[in-house]
Amino acid sequence: MDYFVWSASPIAFSLGSITVFWYGILFATSILLGLEFMKWAFRIEGKNEATIEPLFLYTVVGIVVGARLGHCLFYDPAFYLAHPLKIFAVWEGGLASHGGGLGAIIALYFGAKKYKVNYEGRESSLGYKMDFLWLIDRLIVPTALFGFLVRMGNFMNSEIVGTKTDVSWAVVFTKVDMFPRHPAQLYEAFSYLAIFILLFSIYKFSKAKVQPGLLFGLFLSLVFSARFLVEFVKVKQADYDTSFLFMSTGQALSIPFLLVGIGFIFWSLKKS
């Protein structure tokens, strides 16, 4: 059987000593698209756009720091505890989506406190009503698109590959080996794209009626359900034995996020 052979270079182009990777382009594109979405959301809902960029900067820093620490602590703690300076070597690769998500929420929390975004929707010093959950509900919409573009970057890098298989749509990642494998990155990428389309549609057509917390709950439930399922056909990522968990590290880390998401869905529906 003929399989799709993937041998593309992860390098987009080079200018002298500067090398630009597809992963970096897709990562930066996702950040810019997220910023533009938040500007659009603030504009159509009559919020002050002046607070978007500083709050968004907090979020981006939280994503990068959280994703890096998540990878180091969740997937290869022994190595990074023995070589702590390697934690800062982001250019060597290694970002964990679970850590990135948690880091973004924590960073946004502190950014919101600094800019006096209140939690009850009362009039704040910014001159308009906006609570933290309102902010989170909007931010997670482009975050799903962020997940799609980052996983496409992983595909360009031939990393986070799937297990060996003989299905007709298997991909041979020549930079890994010559075995046909599940394109696990594409499974995740298109799952996140579908989730983005769903969340964007709900927000665009019924934002005034959506109970606070529902979009956030849907995001967590759908994204981490997809992540849990794809882990079944993904090559083991953690550099330690996880057999005692009866599941992969990615699956174990997805369960708390999934439960929180379900909790938010029930909470928001009950309030409505």
pLDDT (tens digit, 9 = 90+) per residue, 82-93? 888 888 777 666
Question: Per DSSP, which regions of 79-217 are E strands?
Answer: 171-173, 180-181
- What share of the chain in percent tops pLDDT 90? 48
pLDDT (tens digit, 9 = 90+) per residue, 65-120? 888 888 788 777 788 888 888 887 776 667 777 788 888 888 888 887 776 654 44
pLDDT-derived band at 129, boundaries 50, 70, 90? very low
Q: What are the distances in angstroms from CA 48 to CA 35, 44, 197?
A: 14, 11, 26
Q: Which residue has the tokens 């698109």?
A: 145
Q: Which residues of 245-264 are buried (b: 16+ CB within 10 A; e: fewer)?
A: eebbbbbbbbeebbeebeeb
Residue of 64 and 230 predicted with greater confidence = 230
